[in-house]
Each structure stands twice: as structure tokens, then as C-alpha cells.
A and B are shown apart, each in its own frame.
Chain A
Amino acid sequence: MSCSKFETDIALYAGGDLPAGRIARIEWHLAECADCRVLAEELRAGQAVLGELRDEPLEDAMVAQVRRRVIAELGRAGFSRRGALAPLLALAAALLLATVLMWPRHSAKPTAVAHVETPHVTPVAPAARTNIVPVRHRAARQRRRAPAAQPGPPLLVQFVTDDPNIVVYWLINQKPQGD
């Protein structure tokens, strides 16, 4: 009689994993088959040895080394959940910067280096309405026209975020002055 069809269930039975509905059949077979009883005993012996592996002591040095390495990794700059947000922060900063740059320009000439930080808006009381008569000075017109359009110095915009590790620089070539 071939016992191979029982092996799978015997392996489960030896470890107490056989569903209740199949136990009676295996016990009946084990009662009459010496070879399968040997198999069951060997399987139990193997499980006992596996259980001993759990109790084998680990070297303290090995555990300590893992902990040291974890600490070292955590100590590296940028390894944190805040670090995981860095790309998002950078994107947000870039979008904000683009918004600032695309805002309609005022007549004031930009300085060579503009620090864009938290914008401070100072309310100004409206001045009394005055009639302004445009006066054209010939010399001024000439001065404006005279030099052939010279490009201004490049505009460097430094965008400072809350995270000191993230600073966005934006280099802009200015249009030639005098147009």
C-alpha cells in the first residue's frame, strides 16, 4: 500500500496543523502503518530541532552592530520623514517663485540681487490727488535713445524657504535696458 498520499497530512499532523476533520483518518492510518509512524516521529524530531533554533543566543556584538548601523543611517543628513517631503517643498517653492516672477513688473528697476523672503506689505495712505503734467526733456529722450540697448546685469533671485537646507536660486537674464 502506498503511503505517499498520507505524507502531506502526516507532516501537518506532526506539527498540530492538521484541520480537525482530517485527524481521525491520519490517526487510523498511523495505527496500522509502522513506516508512517517512523515518518511522524522524524518530523516531530525535526520540529523540535527547529524550535531549538529560536532559543539559540544571538551574539550581543551582532545586535549592537545592527543598532550602530541604524543610528549611523538615521544620523545622515536628509534621512527623515521631513527629508521625504523635500521634493514637494522644492516644487512648492519653485511654483511660488514662478508666480512672483510672472507678476506684472513695476517700474522700479530690480536690484542685482533680490532676496525673496516673506513679503512684507506696508500699507500706505493714499496721497492727495495731484495733477501731473508730463514734461518731456529733450536730454532725457536722447539719453534714453543714445546707447544701443545694453543688456542689464543678470538678476539673481534667492528664494529662502523655512527649511534651511532648501534655498532656490533663479538666474534671469534681463532684457536690454532702454526699450
Chain B
Amino acid sequence: MEPEGIALRMTAYPRENSGELADFERIMSQCERRVLRVALRLLNNPQDAQDAAQEVFLRLYKHFGNLDETRGYEPWLYRVTVNVCRDISRGRRRSVGLAEVPDPVAPQPDAYHDAERAQQREIVRRGLGCLGEKERAALVLRDVEGLSTREVAGILGSSENTVRSQISTARLKLRDFTGRLLRRR
């Protein structure tokens, strides 16, 4: 659902080509949730994710006329999102440790299933924060976004073998993280 009452207005921000601005607005509407979601998974912090998404779209605006529309904007947006998140992450250099993750709270029996799934999601979310930067990016793009290994390799500028290695390592680390946490219960 799009936020109401908010739209870029050509009159407010004149460009050389007003049609371009309309295209930019359209692409932003289509991709803003995806960009924000990836940023949120990579940074695990809503404020940082918003900062990242803002930067991504400002870069999109700046380079809009130079992008090859026939190749689609998604790979470019994913790549820039990963890069921006990496910069932000390096700026704050804060990883979430196991000790910071709160102990799971036993859910009420009537909503047991939903609560348990929500709890698992929270554990996995935190677990992503314990992964290395490249492993996290590869895993988020592959397992959260559902992109193919080849697409992930293209976005990250790596070979498919490298991406497979990162994905494999990340899955095993995440499994260890969740296993340790669940054993604490």
C-alpha cells in the first residue's frame, strides 16, 4: 500500500526532462519497499535502514538518465543498497552478539504457533547480524529476496562459486546461532 498524499511533484523540482521525473517517481514507488526491506535485513536497525534507502534513491535520481532501462533497475538498486548498507555498517561497526539477544519469552498457548514463528523470525533476524558482511549480503539476497545464485553473483560482483561458498557458510553459522539460542531456553 502506497503512502497517501506523498508524491514527487514535477513543478516543485524541475528537471531537464519532466518525463524522467515521472519515471523516477514510478521506479521509486515500485522499489521503495524492497530497498527498505533489504536495508533493514542488512543493517537490522530501522533508522539506519531508512538512511540507507534515502541514499539509494538519491543516487538513483542522480544517475537516472545514465541507467540502462532495458536491463531493469532492480539489479542496480540491489547493488547500490548493498554498497550503501556496507558503508553505513562500517561507519557504526556494531554487531549484535548473542548476549544482546533477549531470551525468548514463552508464548501463550492459544497463539502458540504464531508466537513461536515470530520468535524464530526474531532469532534469525538477530542471527543475520552475527554474520560477516559479505555472507549476510549473499544470504539476504538469496534466501530472503529469493534471487538466484547467478543474480546474487551479478549484484555482488563475485563469481557464482564465491557466492555459493558465502551462502553455505552463512547458512551453517545461522543454524549454529539459532541452535545455541534455542538450547538456552
Most chain A CB within 10 A, of B1, B3, B12, B58, is at B3
* Smallest beta-carbon distance B38→chain A, Å: 10
Residues of A within 8 A of B8 (CB): 71, 74
| B54 contacts A51, C-beta separation under 8 Å | no
Pick the contact of B37: A15, A58, A65, A81 (CB < 8 A): A58
Closest chain A residue to B21, Cβ basis: A74
Residues of A within 8 A of B124 (CB): 46, 49-50, 53
Residues of A within 8 A of B164 (CB): 12, 17
| A74 contacts B36, C-beta separation under 8 Å | no
Closest chain B residue to A81, Cβ basis: B62
- Say yes or no for B167: interface residue by CB 8 A criterion: yes
Most chain A CB within 10 A, of B32, B125, B165, B168, is at B168
Most chain A CB within 10 A, of B28, B144, B171, is at B171
| A47 contacts B54, C-beta separation under 8 Å | no
| A70 contacts B28, C-beta separation under 8 Å | yes
With A and B bound together, what is the CA distance between A9 and B53 in angstroms? Answer: 35
Q: Which of B73-81, B94-102, B173-181 contacts A (4 or more CB under 8 A)?
A: B173-181
With A and B bound together, what is the CA distance between A12 and B171 in angstroms? Answer: 9
Residues of B within 8 A of A65 (CB): 50
Pick the contact of A52: B6, B28, B65, B121 (CB < 8 A): B121
| A49 contacts B61, C-beta separation under 8 Å | no
| B167 contacts A63, C-beta separation under 8 Å | no
Interface SS, B side: helix
* Smallest beta-carbon distance B138→chain A, Å: 11
- Say yes or no for B117: interface residue by CB 8 A criterion: yes
Q: Known: A12-B167, A53-B125. Is A64-B6 also a contact (CB below 8 A)?
A: yes
Most chain B CB within 10 A, of A12, A14, A50, A69, is at A50
- Say yes or no for B162: interface residue by CB 8 A criterion: no
With A and B bound together, what is the CA distance between A56 and B165 in angstroms? Answer: 27
Q: Known: A11-B167, A71-B8. Is A56-B121 also a contact (CB below 8 A)?
A: yes
Pick the contact of B58: A50, A53, A73 (CB < 8 A): A73
Residues of A within 8 A of B143 (CB): 15, 47, 50-51
Q: Known: A17-B149, A53-B125, A67-B32. Is A11-B172 also a contact (CB below 8 A)?
A: yes
Most chain B CB within 10 A, of A53, A64, A71, is at A53
Q: Known: A64-B6, A67-B3. Is A46-B178 also a contact (CB below 8 A)?
A: yes
- Say yes or no for B15: interface residue by CB 8 A criterion: yes
With A and B bound together, what is the CA distance between A169 and B172 in angstroms? Answer: 65
| A84 contacts B6, C-beta separation under 8 Å | no
- Say yes or no for A27: interface residue by CB 8 A criterion: no
- Which 3 pairs, one residue from A and one from B, show the smallest C-beta to C-beta distance? A64-B3, A11-B168, A50-B143
Q: List 18 A-B contacts (CB under 8 A).
A: A11-B172, A15-B142, A15-B143, A17-B164, A43-B175, A46-B175, A49-B117, A50-B144, A51-B143, A60-B1, A60-B3, A62-B50, A64-B3, A66-B53, A70-B28, A70-B58, A74-B8, A74-B61
